[in-house]
Amino acid sequence: MDSCCEDKAAELAILRGRQGRVLAVVLAVNVVMFCFEFGAGLLAGSTALLADSLDMLGDSLVYGFSLYVLHRGPVWRARGALGKGVIMAVFGLGVLVEAALSLRTGVPPVVPAMLGVGALALMANTFCFGLLWRHRADDINLRSTWLCSRNDLIANGAVLVAAGLVGWSHSIWPDLIVGVGIACLFLRTAVSVLRDSLRELGRLRGGAVEGDAEQL
């Protein structure tokens, strides 16, 4: 191996090490925030908070999956992105079901809890977004992870807006609308990630087939 190849290999190893540290931090943040926000959502009776907490749980699985495939080849990274797309789709559908169940009770959530926990989640996700921003173009694995973080910020802002509207109107509808909106955001991103990962897997498999044909 010449010095150029050795330098490239060393650069790639350094990059993977940095990615691993970032993913470990955002994984820890999301696990802690899921536990806190899910409990608060149950106590406050907030569909939006519960939806946001499930987002945290989904992201925890996503970041863990990203760490698992980080030092593997491009096929594994594409498979990891595919798995993350499936996870996001499942949680999106789960939030829709939870919103339908909440509609049956008709009880507005506790506004102070929504505001406090929503603001804390926004700060936590802003921190994670800043860490992931520099790695968003590294590869498909980190891009899909960054998309999850971007969605988190949108969802957090929507929770705070819903809390204000619930406090003003004393109605359950703002909370439900935001919960359904978060679910739709999940599903839209899931479709995008699934499409990109399937395209990448097809490209990699096509390249492998061509390589085999050339060897013959």
Domain-by-domain residue ranges, the chain? 3-215
Give the residue from 9, 22, 34 showing the smallest Cα distance to 142: 22
Per-residue pLDDT of the chain (216 residues; tens, 9 = 90+): 443 333 333 333 434 556 677 778 888 888 899 889 888 888 888 888 888 887 787 778 777 776 776 666 677 667 777 777 787 788 778 778 777 877 777 778 888 988 999 999 999 988 888 877 776 655 565 666 667 777 788 888 889 999 999 999 888 898 988 888 877 877 887 788 788 888 877 887 766 544 443 333
d(CA 62, CA 57): 9
Sequence-distant (≥ 6) Cβ neighbours of residue 13 within 8 angstroms: none
150 closest CA partner among 114, 195, 192: 192
pTM over 0.75: no
3-215: CATH architecture: Up-down Bundle (1.20)
Q: How far apart are CA 17 and CA 21, in angstroms?
A: 6
- 121 near 52, Cβ under 8 Å? yes
**d(Cα 25, Cα 28) in Å, to the nearest integer?**
5
